[in-house]
A and B are shown apart, each in its own frame.
Chain A
Amino acid sequence: MGFIIKNARVYTNDPEFKRAIVTLTAFVKAPIYILPPYASFYDSRTREPAVTVEVRAGLDKRLTLAPGTFSLEGKVAYEIKEILEGRIFHIRFRDVTCSLEDYKGYLNLKTNYPEKPVINIRIIGRFLVSP
């Protein structure tokens, strides 16, 4: 969804211009955009107490969001804030654990869009550096 870019390397027999990169830029429309693609908590030293994911309406009609399934109850808390009426929402996740245990889960939100009745926001907590 959103802007995507694909690059291709091409070779020519022109001695002055042996190689070129062809870039294709496209915009893939989606009913709803989630930015960034997931919520991530990381690194205990610089641990952010909260991260925000933006949900944007991609269609020309009002979007509503309602809480659905949440798999990280007790580890992460969240709140939904409507930033631009019917268009932009901020989902603010707060890490409420004090442990360094990694976790992975999701929040499902129900929408009023029949094209996308449920959106899934992935949440990742990764606090340990790989050896």
Chain B
Amino acid sequence: MLLQGAIIAVSAMGLGISVNALREDRLSFVPAWSSTQSDHGTVKKLLIPIERAQELFFQGEAIFVDCRPRMLYEQGHITGACNLPLDSFEKNIGSTLGDITPRTPLIVYLEGTDSTPAMEVALKLMSRNYRKVHVLEKGWDLWVANELPVEAVLFAPHVP
């Protein structure tokens, strides 16, 4: 009896998954994040205060993801941060974060006090299975105001 029940359940699940896979508007197994959810405060949890970000930095336990355009990144960025510009996210995510395991804490940052664009990036990263994603509150501006470690991409003369 139990065996029959288990067989029916497994068959139903298999049928459901198969039908879903064939649908054009298939349902996602992982709920898709949306801006609407951020409005409801769900993603507010992603915000990390500067004090905590600083701790993770000095402990070397997080990877900082600078989502500003390349030129801004070159002018100065959090020491060790990688650059994944917002407008080329899809194109560059593989080459930028390809070697990073999903359990590595990521701290996303941008300029200015509005964290919304950085939230969008964080949600995109989460939808790609990165589990420990945070958004640095007030981003680059606050990091610099606190005189925390920064570096720039320096001019390298071409040596023939």
Residues facing B in A15-53 (CB within 8 A) are 18-19, 21, 23, 25, 33, 35-38, 40, 42-43, 46, 51-53
Question: Contact at A5–B55, with CB atoms within 8 Å?
Answer: no
Residue A116 at the chain B interface, CB threshold 8 Å = no
Instruction: Determine whether A122 belongs to the interface, using a CB cutoff of 8 Å to chain B.
Output: yes
Which residue of chain A is the closest to B71 with respect to CB atoms?
A3
Q: Which residues of A contact B148 (CB under 8 A)?
A: 40, 42, 126
Most buried by B among A7, A36, A52, A53: A36
Closest to A1 in B: B75
| Interface pair A130/B155, CB less than 8 Å apart | no
Contact across chains for A42 and B152 when beta carbons are under 8 A apart? no
* Those 7 A-B pairs whose CB atoms lie nearest each other, nearest first: A36-B76, A35-B152, A36-B152, A36-B150, A129-B58, A40-B149, A42-B149
Set of chain B residues within 8 Å of A130, measured between Cβ atoms: 51, 54-55, 58
Q: Which residues of A contact B39 (CB under 8 A)?
A: 19
User: How many residues of A are counted as interface, with CB atoms below 8 angstroms from the partner's CB atoms?
Assistant: 37
User: Which residue numbers of B lie inside 8 Å of A, CB to CB?
Assistant: 35-36, 39, 51, 54-55, 58-60, 68-69, 71-72, 74-77, 79, 110-112, 114, 116-117, 144, 147-152, 154-155, 157
- Distance of A42 Cα from B79 Cα, bound (Å): 10
Q: Select which of A4, A40, A104 is within 8 A of B150 by beta carbon.
A: A40
Across the interface, do B144 and A37 meet the contact criterion of CB distance under 8 Å?
yes
- B155: chain A residues at CB < 8 Å are 54, 56, 83-84, 88, 90
* Cα(A56)–Cα(B153), bound, Å: 13
Chain A's nearest CB lies how many Å from the CB of B137? 15
Tell whether, in the assembled complex, residue A129 and residue B59 are in contact, meaning their CB atoms are under 8 Å apart: yes
Which of A3, A37, A46, A124: most chain B Cβ within 10 A? A3
Q: Is the CB of A35 within 8 A of B58?
A: no
Contact partner of A126 (CB less than 8 A), chosen from B59, B111, B147, B154, is: B147
Q: Which residues of B contact A35 (CB under 8 A)?
A: 74-76, 152, 154
B112 touches A7 (CB 8 A): yes
Query: In whole angstroms, what is the CA distance A56 to B74 when docked?
Result: 13
Chain A residues within 8 Å of B150, by CB: 36-38, 40
A124 touches B152 (CB 8 A): no
CA distance A4 to B140 in the complex (A): 11
A22 to chain B, nearest CB (A): 11
Is there contact, CB below 8 Å, between A7 and B110? Answer: yes
Given the known interface contacts A35-B154, A40-B148, A51-B151, the answer about A5 and B72 at a Cβ–Cβ threshold of 8 Å is yes
